[in-house]
Structure 1
Amino acid sequence: MDSYPLGFEEDDRLRSAFIRNLTLHQLNRSATSNVAGSNLTSSIPKTLLQYWHDPHDVPEDVQVCINSWKRLSAEGFAFRMFNDVSGAEYITEWYGESEQEAFARCRHPAMRCDYLRMCVLVAEGGLYVDADDVLLGDNWRYLFHDSALKVQPLCYDIPSCSMVPASEIWRSDLLTDERIFYVNNDPIAAPAHHPVLKRALSRSTEKLLGKARFPEIQETTGPGNITASLAAHARDLMIRGAPLDFELLNDWESIAQTRWDLSYRNDARNWRNMDSH
């Protein structure tokens, strides 16, 4: 691990290279023998977590996405739909003043959603999905086949300003120049108290309580935060020779699809438009 010194996860280039190496590592290992917590039962609760900041103003097209998951009630799922008010109440119930203040400093609904999902998953576990994800088939069952944390790897191609197709990420001959490898914070399937999410929550809280007036969303609460936390955790496990307790999903697109043509993406409710408003 000499190429990845302590604290390497805060370096964008090293972090990207490490995530790329994790995908190659997963290709070369057995899915059952090298993942801690692999067993015939799962400690990930069948609780679906979602978030929309204003429960009285959910766009119709977003509600269609949310409703697509309702059929999981027949599979024994419980549903937790949070908003800005219930999210703050949850953090007050389960956490202390630092987390309450950090949540209050999240300057956009997307940031509050990012932060709240970590709080709930650390405390109770479950499956978090974004409100603009649509459930497709029955492959969701795989998420619960063991107790490993499950997240989705992503890759951004800088020259084309576009995402690399999910299937391409797993190619062993994929060129890495001018590409950024990271993991998404949607979906997240996890048992309670998973160390990656505990680390991510702590890192995010520290950044939100820091001196930055307008902390950048991706790095503070979003994918950058969970990527850094997962990378640091994975390095620790590898140094100890311990099995990995997480899995990078290579087939999330067979489970759910993100809808990009939703009305809210054109206004300030879309975090990508945050600083322009």
Structure 2
Amino acid sequence: MNQQQTPLSHTIDVTRPSVARMHDYFLGGKDNYPADRRACERLLAHAPSAQILAVNNRRFLHRVIRCLIQDHGIRQFLDIGSGLPTKDNVHEIAQHYAPGAKVAYVDHDPMVLAYGRALLEDYRRTDRRIVTVQADLRDPDALLDHPAVTGILDLHRPVAVLYLSVLHCVADRDRPADIVRRTAARLSPGSFVAVSHLVSEDAAVRRTLTDLMAQSTGGQWGAVRRAEDVDRFFTALDILDPGLVDVAAWRADPLMGPRQRTWEWIQYGGVARVP
């Protein structure tokens, strides 16, 4: 992996691992630091599938965007918990299939925002259909009413909200299922919600990996949950085929890419329409 770093290192705490930078490392990115890489190696020792899950989740993102554009005419995307820009970002995928597509990236982590705004600056100079916003996903109303969001997305028209690999960073006390429900309630009919979430049906695995990630990130973590917990995120939404599944199998291409070799956990989720 390319370990060169951006010049922003002096503005952030690079001694504490960040979920976003760990994810960047797993995707082969350059915007991570020794603390992030050490945390990734500790995680891989307990869950050797962790890197493959990150790659397959990114491929799920691509298939979701392609499906929503080609099959449902979606041209607006709200990427909540977007993390660091990397290869094949949402705007790059969406505008490949629909050049006029608009994308609002949302994250609350100031480190992610600093990176995101710097790394997307070249795009924003020429493309006013992209914006990066600082907001807290735990407050859907404030997020959806943010002037930068409403300035680029028309919420009176269908929009796709992406919660990919982020809701496991939300603690149970913050009621992630309610967050999704409240967000969906604000969307126009014909909008879509996509979710991927780390799950395990083994209680010991859930406990071990949740504790490891919480310790590694200084508490910036929620929980590895059960599939049935994630199912509740989709209450009152119309789930698209093939339902809620391991995201590597969601409308998978004939060549699925990297295969998961161990099964401590999976990325679980799907896509649903707002009726």
TM-score (structure 1 length as normaliser): 0.24
Structure with greater contact order relative to length (CA < 8 Å, sep ≥ 6): 1
TM-score (structure 2 length as normaliser): 0.24
